[in-house]
Structure 1
């Protein structure tokens, strides 16, 4: 059945639509932190549909909310009052930390970032955007144009002028050997120098932890230091929280809060986990920025009732069960367990991350040179052992990505770490 489905997939879908594994799998159902494929194999899921199944597979509270809402009305568009959309917007605005916040819902993180770019460029009357090297912001024409990861940016054409800034990766690049404080100072000096050679940009967009880039990040405080420089010049700060939001990093509810000494971002985008698999994205911004557009707009599918019902139920579950605290506790144990497992493996350059957002960088032993074949071998070995993980990386790197649902328990963390340890040993 799977082979037939693979042939049909290849016959009608784009060649560039990536599939994991030499023999791709069809996932048919899930429960908690586990999924099953069409052959009946059971897997511990440490990737959650790319960090999207945030709480658990088949979470009863979300399933019930979706079912009950579907029995009433599924969709009406934003042309009509929508109680679930208003209720979720109120919750998100309050949680965002942005004063006088307004919320616009989209169907994906890509569309959320696209909207943020529209707002920033319209508000500032500038099409110049600052972005981080090694970044990823989506697959729309505007978002690939600001993506600083060559492997995920298929065209250099763009409606925007993009200038790339140092700092998204702590352990690579010209400042890697510096202390954290000196690293931040050097990146700030570089930003100030860059701004002296260009017309005023609209905004800086940055992921607090770079997702597709391999879960890399700067020292805490870098974006606060950037914020001070930007604020003096009226340049906006867009925090891309598509992967870092909703408590995944454990220490904070939003990734930007590790850099929040100078206040919240002007604009924040979110998506992925809030819907626990339902298609929700969104933008939060100060009212004067959100309201700066001088033409009509709507969203046909953004904020539709069934996705908002799922988002409300999922957010309630996350807060009531302190899944942020669980990500901090269980994630802390998991990252230390993985560091211990990786220590004797020469191909592992670094284990990094926070909370339940952990990257394992694979290189050719004794070098900083990427080794995608070995990373793929670990991915295959983990799957053979009953564990699903992801991969990514920039700087021509190969990184494994570990991001389980936030309800992961200690026993499951240990089980997954043991499988991954065996997978890493298998490449030696």
Structure 2
């Protein structure tokens, strides 16, 4: 008898693109969720340590979000930006208040990809240049321009580009000539690399776009303060700094509300992009920029779906819940518990090369006995944890990094339960 999942997977493959990735040898249909748990269509329960790629920020089926969406749906679902939109204005005010940017303006999109696309448009227009700096191992989305600044080969299907991108060192260490440097020496080497790259470019450079913690890149992160040093170099030439906070924003790292704030010695970025967690599953993203940059566009522009009444209402309820319940603080406290549990695998499980990250954004890098990346082990761990009732993600330049990012309301008991399952899977797979 064909299972519910097998039948749906067959239909999926018959009508959707081959390049649309699915987790697991036997993919699952996640049918419902509550809190930090989800249930599939065959009734199996899982503790969710990936949150739909860091998107379920507070909790599945958060009552406040459900109520806000239900109330707004009973009024009007859609109007577009050609009309005043109270939920959008109220959400923009809240985001601006929390942004840390002087005289901010907020533009809403429907995804992080579209947010980064808009940020690149602003920067290249403001600076009158199509030259862009990005980090190696980066990922900024699926659109033509976002792929043009993506430095991770596994997610970049074309070399064609609307911008001229130069890649600099800044986050990834393992597997590079900078791997064994101290934080101080790594920072100095990256600054020197940035200055060297700028010295090879001709004329005006528009911007540097960078993730404070590289998401798809396997939760690699620079030493605190590195982007402050970068900003000193950028400011000498008026080059804008775009901080891609699609995965790091809203307190996920625990220590700060925004990832860039670990690097704020020289002030805020010129532009911040966001998405994922603010909507808690609703399709919303956006750009925050100081007014001078945001208002530089001279052509007409609208957004049909960006900041729609229903998504803005749900996102505002979600953001208010996050702040009122100090989920940033919870990410710091419970993240430390989870990190402490996972650190036990280093040295005990031969395949675990490194545990890294901040708050509830943790990566576990897996390698073979010769030290080379082991994507096959990451895949095996995903299968093992699924069988035991835990969902995790994977990423990294070679697909060999486990990505752990539960909703920020994760309890200490749930952290320990999930860590137990993950450690058991690592010991089973990583000692073969």
Q: TM-score range by the shorter chain?
A: over 0.9
Shift of 1:397: 5.0
Match of 2:318 in 1: 314
Answering whether residue 82 of structure 2 is matched by residue 79 of structure 1, we say: yes
The 5 A counterparts of 1:343-358 are 343-358=347-362
Q: CA deviation at 1:365?
A: 2.1
Matches within 5 A, 1:256-267: 256-267=260-271
Give the TM-score normalised by the residue count of structure 2: 0.98
Alignment partner, residue 53 of structure 2: 50
> Following TM superposition, by how much is the alpha carbon of 1:343 offset from its aligned partner in structure 2, in angstroms?
3.3
Deviations 1:168-222 (A, max 9, x none): 1144422222221111111111111111111221000000000000000110111
Match of 1:18 in 2: 21
Matches within 5 A, 1:96-175: 96-175=99-178
Q: Secondary structure at the match of 2:344?
A: helix
- Alignment match, 1:276: 280
> What secondary structure sits across from 1:205 in the alignment?
strand
Q: Deviations over 1:327-357 (max 9, x none)?
A: 0000011011011134311011100011000
Q: What SS does the corresponding residue of 2:345 show, helix, strand or coil?
A: helix
**Corresponding position of 1:95:** 98
Alignment RMSD (CA, Å)? 0.8
Q: Which runs of structure 1 show a deviation greater than 2 angstroms over 4 or more consecutive aligned residues? A: none
- Asked whether the 8 Å contact 2:385–2:422 carries over to 1, the reply is yes
Report whether the alignment pairs 1:6 with 2:21: no
Q: Which runs of 5+ in 1 are unaligned?
A: none
Provide, for residues 292-339 of structure 1, a one-character-per-residue CA deviation record: whole Å limited to 9, x for no partner: 000000000000000000111000000000000000000011011011
Partner of 2:425: 423
Secondary structure of 1:229's aligned partner: helix
**TM-score normalised to the size of structure 1?**
0.98
Q: Find the aligned partners of 2:209 and 2:286 in 1 and give their Cα distance.
A: 15
Unmatched 5+ stretches in structure 2: none
Paired residue for 1:400? Answer: 402
1:246 and 2:257 aligned: no
Give the conservation status (yes or no) of the 8 Å contact 2:133–2:207.
yes
Q: How does 1:325-340 map to 2 (within 5 A)?
A: 325-340=329-344
**What is the Cα deviation at residue 366 of structure 1?**
4.2
